Amino acid sequence: MRILYFDIDTLRADHLGCYGYGRDTSPNIDRLARGAVRLENCYASDAPCLPSRASVFTGRFGIHTGVVGHGGTAADLRPVGSERGFSTMRQRPGFIWRLRERGLYPVSVSPFAERHSAWWFCEGWREMHNSGRGGAESAEEIVPAALDWIGRNARRDDWFLHINMWDPHTPYRAPEGFGNPFAGAPLAGWYTDALRRRQWESFGPGSPQEPAGAMGRPADHPRQPSQIASMEDYRRWVDGYDCGIRYADSWCGRVLDALADAGVLDETAVIVTSDHGENMGELAVIGDHQVADHVTSRVPMIVRWPGLAGGRADTALHYQTDVAATIVELAGGLAPPHWDGRSFAPALRAGRSEGRDFLVVSQCAWSCMRAVRWDEYLFIRSYHTGLKNYPARMLFNVAEDPHELADLARERPGVADRGQALLERWTAEMLASGDAAEDPLWTVMREGGPYHTRGRLEAYCGRLRATGRARQAEFLAAHPTGLADA
């Protein structure tokens, strides 16, 4: 058995052709997807980067691991405590160790562990290649190490190769010589100038006056405008993001070609996924992953597995952590009892869409939020907006409104109450089944709020006043969590 796992940072599903995008961003991934199962509703349990991968690679949700943020106590795994054995890897096996127990030889090409001081990520790998720039790499600095490994090992049996690319993440870094394949290509029409103007007059890291969470810091890359002062700026921004996807896709193609040249591609399982999505104006966030919404939390998940019928969409609700449990079962193992991830391998083998009744997703790095996804709805409960302009409760019909333009919370209070009830039930169940009584979301709140906006209220209010938004500054000064109706 051979498994290739493409982990492309900040890749939103609906900017891939196989998920319906109109631009040709992903010809190699699309070609792979034609023979694969494409999960339509797969979500990271905890976003963004650090908590997302912590959940996948430990098999547990952030409310159990304690990792829900990017700094402070909630950026480290909780210690096992007095029950810790000689090797926690064997005591509480994660995704990679479980595959290794099944006889696979796991290899990672990624700077992730160093980027986030996530040293637990090192557990289980037989080989690790750190490209050394902490996620600032472009694909040509990462993939050649993987190609070298494939050149020496492709025909060996029983390996798992993890390749982690970062090109869709800001700053958009596709080399100048790559050009812009999307020059003049139409944009999706949902983001209008009227919407841009409303967001321009509002506030929050990620909004048009402070895209990518810059809070006034100018962009330092030619593909990335400093502000979205016009629709031409927005076009340049989306072009930069889409170029990052197309560039990463071109290197995926080189890896797939190398396996084909070695004669093993058809018998190799291939997974394509990401740690989270990327908002392009949804909830007034442009070029970042700051909220627990449909766009940030939803990830692409393409699974091509030898012997499984492909060319279909799985429409059930899944956590990305469930996919890890499923891969373990397809490889002949079982998810350990302490995992939150649940395998859906039997349904996958049978060609059925079968998953969870509802999902709960979190964001505690840029804001403090949890959201519930069920039926066609997404309910978002905010506890700290991260200096943004949101109410405490939001409700969206993401089947009809995937870009979250119409908040239905006031119009359909009963549906919002249903989401609130599901959230409260889930939280109680998770805390009752975990090792610690404290919810890590409230750890973040107690330590001053989300890491990326912690301690920045005064400076940001100063920027708002300097840019003609004094009224917004006074609101934030009076409501440091950003909530007037909590």
**Cα–Cα distance, 250 to 231 (Å, whole number):** 28
Q: What is the pLDDT of residues 335-356, one digit of tens each?
A: 999 999 999 999 999 999 999 9
Residue 40 within a domain: yes
Q: Which of 283, 191, 269, 199 is nearest to 237 (CA)?
A: 191
Tokens 């766009």, residue? Answer: 295
Residue 116 clears pLDDT 80, i.e. is over it: yes
CA distance 206 to 213: 4
List of residues 6+ apart from 87 with CB closer than 8 A = none
Q: What per-residue confidence (pLDDT) applies to 107? A: 98
pLDDT grade for 433, boundaries at 50, 70 and 90 = very high
143-194 pLDDT, tens digit per residue, is 999 999 999 999 999 999 999 999 999 999 999 999 999 999 999 999 999 9
Confidence at residue 90, expressed as pLDDT on a 0 to 100 scale: 84
Residue 462 lies in a domain: no
Beta bridge partner(s), residue 162 = 5, 108
Cα 71 to Cα 48: distance, rounded to the nearest angstrom: 12
In a domain, 363, yes or no: no
The whole-number pLDDT of residue 221 equals 85
- For residue 14, the tally of other CB atoms under 10 A from its CB is 16
Would you state the structure tokens that stand for residue 251, as one six-digit string?
Answer: 């290197």
* pTM, full prediction: 0.97
Asked whether residue 421 is domain-assigned, the answer is: no
Q: Report the domain count for the chain.
A: 1
Whole-number Å distance between alpha carbons of 336 and 341? 9
In a domain, 14, yes or no: yes
Is 262 inside a domain boundary? yes
Name the CA radius of gyration of the chain, rounded: 21
Decide if 406 is inside a domain: no
For residue 153, give the DSSP letter.
H
Q: What is the pLDDT of residue 89?
A: 82
**Would residue 397 count as lying in a domain?**
no
Two tokens, residue 394: 């939001």
Dist. CA 444–CA 383, nearest whole Å: 11
Q: What distance in Å separates the CA atoms of residue 238 and residue 279, rounded to the nearest whole number?
A: 10
| Amino acid in position 90 | R
Higher pLDDT, residue 89 or 226 = 226
Report percent pLDDT > 70 for the chain. 99
pLDDT 10s digits, 226-270:
999 999 999 999 999 999 999 999 999 999 999 999 999 999 999
280-305 per-position pLDDT tens digit = 999 999 999 999 999 999 999 999 99
pLDDT band at 219 (very low <50, low <70, confident <90, very high): low
- In this model, does residue 380 exceed pLDDT 70? yes
Instruction: Average the pLDDT over 24-35 and give the result.
Output: 98
User: What's the confidence (pLDDT) of residue 402?
Assistant: 98
Which pLDDT value is given to residue 399?
A: 98
Residue among 100, 181, 167 at smallest CA distance from 131: 167
> In CATH, what number is assigned to the domain containing residue 199?
3.40.720.10
Check whether 485 has a pLDDT greater than 80: no
Question: Range of 67's domain?
Answer: 2-353
Q: Tens of pLDDT along 389-428? A: 999 999 999 999 999 999 999 999 999 999 999 999 999 9
Report pLDDT for 218. 66
Rounded Cα distance between 430 and 436, Å, is 10
C-alpha span between 290 and 368 (Å, rounded): 9
What's the full length of the chain, in residues? Answer: 486
The per-residue pLDDT of the chain, averaged, comes to 96
